[in-house]
């Protein structure tokens, strides 16, 4: 049976290792000046971004036919010598995974030691459940040395709801006896104004890492769906929204693999009046977000400053719950 055009289509075909010294997209066969420009405009800046994209998307971006797009993709893959990777190589890549710890043993245990690089971690829950506070705590903690649960890294925050408050970072930093100015300087914040802008900002992160040489180890998107949700309010455009969202999540995943960094996204919930037992809420964004997230945690409010986190989905951790607190000093047991 012929599958629909999808990402699998890209992976299915194995390219032989052809000797090739193509280094940038302008050198690909069939890519002239105009096409190269269109590719860049659509965010395909390097060979990898082309190699891992379905032909239909490249065709759409360049207004070329699918056959030509396929040729371009094949050439990009040959140049990158893509194919199967040995299990041993994968194991050694996994050995590079770093973990960012919380200031809470309860949360550390829930996450099997902290949030991982090369993965996407999603926390979803109602307003005030602690999604943003966790994000800010992680943005500070990632800067700590490895022996103290950090990764000696910088954080990037893509703020879609204008909720970033530097004053709060100062509090969190002071509580850990860190220099607040230095901590703030290692958090790069960008306010996203539209879903397109949000996606563009993700592309810019490669520049921060490669051109500005910033050791970014954590990328936060708070919140993932806010802008998508308001821009695609009508049901008629839901399919478009999901397609774009899918692309956004893949961009994030690719970023985390390529630079061995952690992605933390926050997500809201919608009420589900059809659910009578258990918690009548579900993360918005549907299955696309659920499948893209490596770790999914549901947060809910408890008494006072107490919050409950439940691991919903993880490749290796049990479904478990923990209690933590949001205090003046930050996230604590």
Q: Is residue 202 within 8 Å of 188, Cβ to Cβ?
A: no
Q: Is 133 in the site for Mg ion (CB under 5 A)?
A: no
255 versus 283: smaller Cβ distance to ligand GTP? 283
Interaction partner, residue 125 (ligand GTP, Mg ion, none; CB < 5-8 Å by kind) = ligand GTP
By CB under 6 A, what part of segment 146-185 binds ligand GTP?
163, 168
Report the alpha-carbon distance of residue 291 to residue 191 in Å, rounded.
Answer: 26
Residue reference for tokens 């903690």: 141
Interacting span for ligand GTP (CB under 6 A) from 5-13, 51-59, 97-105, 131-139 = 131-139
What's the farthest any 2 CA atoms get from each other in the chain? 63
Distance of closest approach, residue 331 Cβ to ligand GTP, in angstroms: 9
Residues 6+ positions from 236 with CB-CB distance below 8 Å:
none
Interface characters, 260-279, with ligand GTP (x: CB under 6 A): --------x-----------
Burial (0-12, 13-18, 19+ Cβ within 10 Å), 291: exposed
Q: Is 328 in the site for ligand GTP (CB under 6 A)?
A: yes
Query: What radius of gyration do the chain's Cα atoms show?
Result: 21
Distance of closest approach, residue 249 Cβ to Mg ion, in angstroms: 19
Q: Is 99 in the site for ligand GTP (CB under 6 A)?
A: no
Report the alpha-carbon distance of residue 142 to residue 144 in Å, rounded.
Answer: 6
Interaction partner, residue 83 (ligand GTP, Mg ion, none; CB < 5-8 Å by kind) = none
Q: Is 132 in the site for Mg ion (CB under 5 A)?
A: yes
Distance of closest approach, residue 188 Cβ to ligand GTP, in angstroms: 20
54 versus 130: smaller Cβ distance to ligand GTP? 130
137 versus 314: smaller Cβ distance to ligand GTP? 137
Chosen residue from 54, 114, 130, 309 binding ligand GTP by CB under 6 A:
130
Chosen residue from 99, 131, 325, 332 binding ligand GTP by CB under 6 A:
131
Nearest to 294 by CA among 120, 178, 176: 120
Which ranges in 130-179 belong to alpha helices (H)? 131-141, 166-175
List the end-to-end C-alpha distance of the chain, in Å, as a whole number: 53
Coil, helix or strand at residue 295: strand
Distance of closest approach, residue 129 Cβ to ligand GTP, in angstroms: 4
Q: Is 195 in the site for Mg ion (CB under 5 A)?
A: no
Report the alpha-carbon distance of residue 271 to residue 285 in Å, rounded.
Answer: 13
Strands 99-100, 306-313: parallel, antiparallel or unpaired by DSSP?
A: unpaired
Give the footprint of ligand GTP on this chain (CB under 6 A). Answer: 125, 127-133, 163, 168, 268, 326-328
């Amino acid at each position: 049976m012929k599958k629909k055009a999808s990402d699998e289509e890209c992976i299915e075909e194995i390219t032989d290792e052809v000797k090739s010294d193509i280094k940038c997209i302008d050198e690909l066969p069939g890519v002239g000046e105009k096409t190269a420009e269109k590719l860049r405009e659509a965010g395909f800046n390097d060979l990898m971004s082309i190699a891992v994209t379905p032909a239909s998307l490249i065709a759409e971006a360049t207004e070329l036919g699918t056959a030509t797009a396929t040729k371009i993709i094949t050439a990009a893959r040959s140049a990158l010598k893509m194919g199967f990777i040995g299990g041993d190589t994968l194991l050694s890549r996994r050995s590079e995974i770093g973990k960012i710890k919380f200031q809470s043993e309860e949360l550390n245990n829930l996450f099997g030691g902290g949030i991982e690089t090369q993965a996407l971690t999603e926390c979803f829950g109602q307003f005030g459940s602690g999604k943003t506070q966790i994000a800010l705590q992680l943005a500070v903690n990632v800067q700590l040395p490895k022996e103290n649960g950090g990764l000696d890294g910088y954080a990037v925050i893509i703020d879609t709801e204008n909720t970033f408050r530097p004053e709060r970072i100062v509090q969190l930093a002071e509580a850990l006896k860190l220099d607040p100015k230095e901590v703030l300087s290692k958090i790069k914040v960008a306010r996203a104004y539209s879903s397109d802008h949000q996606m563009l900002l993700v592309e810019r992160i490669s520049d921060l890492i490669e051109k500005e040489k910033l050791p970014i180890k954590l990328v936060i998107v708070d919140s993932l769906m806010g802008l998508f949700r308001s821009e695609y309010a009508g049901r008629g455009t839901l399919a478009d929204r999901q397609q774009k969202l899918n692309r956004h999540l893949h961009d994030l995943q690719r970023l985390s693999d390529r630079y061995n960094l952690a992605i933390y996204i926050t997500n809201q919930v919608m009420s589900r009046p059809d659910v009578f037992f258990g918690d009548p809420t579900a993360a918005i964004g549907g299955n696309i977000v659920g499948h893209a997230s490596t770790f999914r945690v549901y947060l809910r409010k408890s008494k006072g400053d107490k919050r409950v986190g439940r691991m919903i989905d993880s490749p290796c951790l049990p479904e478990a719950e923990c209690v933590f607190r949001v205090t003046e000093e930050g996230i604590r047991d």
